[in-house]
Amino acid sequence: MNTHKKKWDLVLSLVCLMMLVGQVSAAQPAPAAFQAGDLWVYRDSLEPGWEDWSWSSTRDFAATPGQGGSPAALRVTLTNWGGLSLRHLAFDASAYTHLEFYIRGDSQGGQSLRVFLQDANSAEIGSVALANAAYIPGGAVSTQWQLVRIPLADLNAFARPVMRVNWQGDTQASPPTFWLDAIRLVAAPPVPLTATVNPGQVLGAIPTTLFGTNAAWWNGNIHQNSNDVGKIRASGVTVLRFPGGSSSNTYHWRQHEPLLGGGPDWELGFSEFVSLARQVGAEPMITVNFGTGTAAEAADWVRWANVEKGYGIKYWEIGNEIYGSWEDSWTHNGLQYCTGDATHDGFNAFVQAMKAVDPTIQIGAVGVDTPNATDHSDPAWGPHVLQACQGMDFYIIHIYAFAPGNRDYAGLLAYPPQTWPALKSRLDTMFQAAGKVVPVAVTEYNSYYTEPEALAIQTVNTLFLADTLGQIVSQGFPMANHWDILNGLVANGGDYGYLLGDAGHTRQPSYYAFPIWRRAGDQRISLTTNANATTTLSLYATRHSDTGDVTLLGINKTGSGQPAALTLQNVRLEAQGQAWTVQGASLDATSVTYNGQANPPVDLSTVPPLTVTGVSPEFSYTFPPYSVTALSLVACRPTDITCDRRVDIADIQICAAAWHLAPGQPGYDERCRLDGDADIDIVDIAQVARDWGWSR
């Protein structure tokens, strides 16, 4: 026997086998490196946040063994067009590049499958056949584990938010059993977030009247509850609207006024509402009864409130959503709303009667945000009101994002930046066509217009409301009122109020959007950023006109911290800043923390701010996951040359050393050019000295 020949044959066999293995490996796509931002669907078990919504199939989520020796895999048998369907809260897929998973057949390969995605309303977004060499080695499922990588673009995943990932036989004949493992959405390479802020470029004022909400007669005696009053005051609301949405159109104020013997004791009467507004430091705003009332009744209300009682109520509205068939009103036509008819007073008659009593009041007319409101009884309501209503001081719109039944988390987060710029453009076009310039007040806004879903009492609504306020600010509206303080839980699981309708009127997550925004300055300033406001991070920049301090409002819509490289131009900053943050553990969390405290005291001013170090004209700050943050950056005072929070001899010495030096000369110090004349002289030094306390 030639043993050398046998050994040589064995060596050749091994070499051939290695070459074959090499060829198989070359055909197998390499898995992407695991990243912190990957969205895992299944690894040994279904990941938290995912649910099994499959049909006509049997599933074993703990079948063994898994791919690569992992403890478990997902074993699926489909019947009669059955499908494996894994569901998550709706998310924007733009943060990911591929759907990746391992697959193998059970006793045989060749399973004929398609993979497809569905949106929040279960509509199919995009589909691919798995039998494609671009996705799977050899273009077919085998009995060995194979890596599948499908570009999300091929699944049309960026068309709209994704909620479900599905596998289904592409013929009625059920494919043999197959196994899946290590299912994930591969995160896109992170793009460094940047933002440039220029406090020297002021874009407009931020009126305090933007931070209003609604109170209602059914809120009961909250004006006598120190806990409720304290919470409302601490939220920072500046305007309170009354008596309560649609009920305003049937509200005859004298019948509900306790000082005149009206209304049951449990009700919040008008004078009691005024007491509440005064206790919390808010301006009252009244909606008079247009639907079943008269101009004389409204004028009587103005007389009693402002002349007899001296309440000095400035803002009044004529009716609530009169354009809607759901409202109790004698008309839903815009022209009739303005001019009335033979037996009913219109807006013009109301204005004339009310201003005859108190000409200092401001009166708003019910409007809409589009010149063609096809879902209203009068599609041309907006142009009709602008044409025929005389003497309006402001024009009113109400904006709600969703109808009941919509549970699209990603859609709700994307709504503010996607909707408000277009809305403002429509209003501007309508006003230009009418030749009118009238301030627009948003006197109601929230996530749902009726029967709110559970999203309304979850963290996601905090982010939505904070972003909505940011859009209202950035679009230059003069007044806004959230709906509302206190409402009540509905069968859908939601509640409009920022205080829950429970015994203790618990602060809901949405409550905290208001105290965070009240940390903002009174001027909006220039900001440019590459952040994706619909899916990742919304940013707003403000300035405090009295101090020059800058406050950035950041709304992180993702489950990971978002570091942002910040550049601040034309401002000197102290090295230490402060932050106030409201944060939820997840979008569907029903509780949040405020500066790290799970149950902060009613008086939020006693909660210490978070310290931010390393502040400079160029620095990085990480906005926490699922949070709204007010980042406060302290500007150095002009005459505090050393930026040490005091003006003293050191500041004078620096400027004295630069006296009569021109830019570019050694020793010239730009910080000392206080009068802006490019020359550092006695005028500049004297300014520092005066702040130091020196006088001739």
- Do the domain assignments include residue 641? no
Q: Say yes or no: 445 and 588 in one domain.
A: no
Task: Report the C-alpha gap between 559 and 585 in whole angstroms.
Answer: 8
Domain with 63 in it: what CATH number?
2.60.120.430
Query: Which residue would you say has higher pLDDT here, 550 or 559?
Result: 550
Residue 172 confidence (pLDDT): 67
Q: Is the pLDDT of residue 492 over 70?
A: yes
Residue 475 confidence (pLDDT): 97
- Do the domain assignments include residue 227? yes
Indicate the range of 132-141, 281-290, 517-526 predicted with least confidence.
132-141
Task: Report the C-alpha gap between 555 and 472 in whole angstroms.
Answer: 15
- Do the domain assignments include residue 430? yes
- Do the domain assignments include residue 5? no
Q: Is the pLDDT of residue 664 over 90?
A: no
- Do the domain assignments include residue 640? no
Query: Which residue would you say has higher pLDDT here, 543 or 38?
Result: 543
Give the torsion sign (CA, 439, 443, 444, 446). Answer: positive
> What is the span of the domain harbouring residue 604?
192-203+520-635
Residue 7's pLDDT band (cuts 50, 70, 90)? very low
Q: Say yes or no: 528 and 565 in one domain.
A: yes
Indicate the range of 16-20, 208-212, 670-674 predicted with least confidence.
16-20
Q: How many domains in the chain?
A: 4
- pTM for this predicted structure: 0.80
**Single-letter amino acid code for the residue at 600:** P
Q: Say yes or no: 138 and 252 in one domain.
A: no
Single residue among 503, 518, 533 that ends a domain in this structure: 518
Q: Say yes or no: 511 and 533 in one domain.
A: no
Residue 56 confidence (pLDDT): 92
Q: Say yes or no: 349 and 485 in one domain.
A: yes
Task: Report the C-alpha gap between 266 and 248 in whole angstroms.
Answer: 18
Single residue among 501, 518, 535 that ends a domain in this structure: 518
Task: Report the C-alpha gap between 95 and 168 in whole angstroms.
Answer: 25
Residue-wise pLDDT for 131-142, tens only, equals 899 999 989 999
Single residue among 187, 217, 232 that ends a domain in this structure: 187
Q: Are 579 and 610 in contact (CB under 8 A)?
A: yes
Q: Is the pLDDT of residue 36 over 70?
A: no
Query: Which residue would you say has higher pLDDT here, 110 or 481?
Result: 481
Q: Say yes or no: 138 and 225 in one domain.
A: no
Cα-Cα-Cα-Cα torsion 544, 566, 569, 637, nearest 10 degrees, comes to 40
Sequence-distant (≥ 6) Cβ neighbours of residue 302 within 8 angstroms:
313, 316, 354, 357, 358, 361
Residue 661 confidence (pLDDT): 85
Q: Say yes or no: 168 and 211 in one domain.
A: no
Q: Is the pLDDT of residue 3 over 70?
A: no
Domain with 576 in it: what CATH number?
2.60.40.1180
Task: Report the C-alpha gap between 151 and 147 in whole angstroms.
Answer: 13
Q: Is the pLDDT of residue 14 over 70?
A: no
Residues in the chain: 696
From residue 100, give the alpha-carbon distance in Å to each of 34, 94, 135, 519, 662: 11, 15, 9, 44, 64
Indicate the range of 176-190, 468-482, 543-557 predicted with least confidence.
176-190
Supply the DSSP string of 409-433, one letter for each residue.
HHHHHHHHHHHHHHHHHHHHHHHHH
Residue 65 confidence (pLDDT): 92
Residue 205 confidence (pLDDT): 97
Residue 416 confidence (pLDDT): 97
Q: Is the pLDDT of residue 549 over 90?
A: yes
Q: Say yes or no: 593 and 671 in one domain.
A: no
Residue 1 confidence (pLDDT): 40
Residue 18's pLDDT band (cuts 50, 70, 90)? very low
Domain with 501 in it: what CATH number?
3.20.20.80
Residue-wise pLDDT for 329-374, tens only, equals 999 999 999 999 999 999 999 999 999 999 999 999 999 999 998 8
Q: Say yes or no: 95 and 212 in one domain.
A: no
Residue-wise pLDDT for 571-596, tens only, equals 999 999 999 999 999 999 999 999 99
Residue 175 confidence (pLDDT): 77
Q: Is the pLDDT of residue 6 over 80?
A: no
Q: Is the pLDDT of residue 20 over 60?
A: no
Query: Which residue would you say has higher pLDDT here, 457 or 190?
Result: 457
Q: Is the pLDDT of residue 433 over 90?
A: yes
Mean pLDDT of 288-306: 98
Mean pLDDT of 260-287: 97
Instruction: Return left, alpha or beta for 297; rule: phi > 0 is left, psi -120 to 50 is alpha, else beta.
Output: alpha
Q: Is the pLDDT of residue 98 over 90?
A: yes
Q: Say yes or no: 283 and 162 in one domain.
A: no
Residue 460 confidence (pLDDT): 96
- Do the domain assignments include residue 213? yes
% of the chain exceeding 90 in pLDDT: 77
Q: Say yes or no: 511 and 615 in one domain.
A: no
Residue-wise pLDDT for 631-656, tens only, equals 999 999 888 888 888 888 898 899 99
Q: Say yes or no: 451 and 321 in one domain.
A: yes
Average pLDDT over all residues of the chain: 91
- Do the domain assignments include residue 616? yes
Q: Is residue 71 helix, strand or coil?
A: coil
Task: Report the C-alpha gap between 18 and 440 in whole angstroms.
Answer: 75
Residue 276's pLDDT band (cuts 50, 70, 90)? very high
- Do the domain assignments include residue 15? no
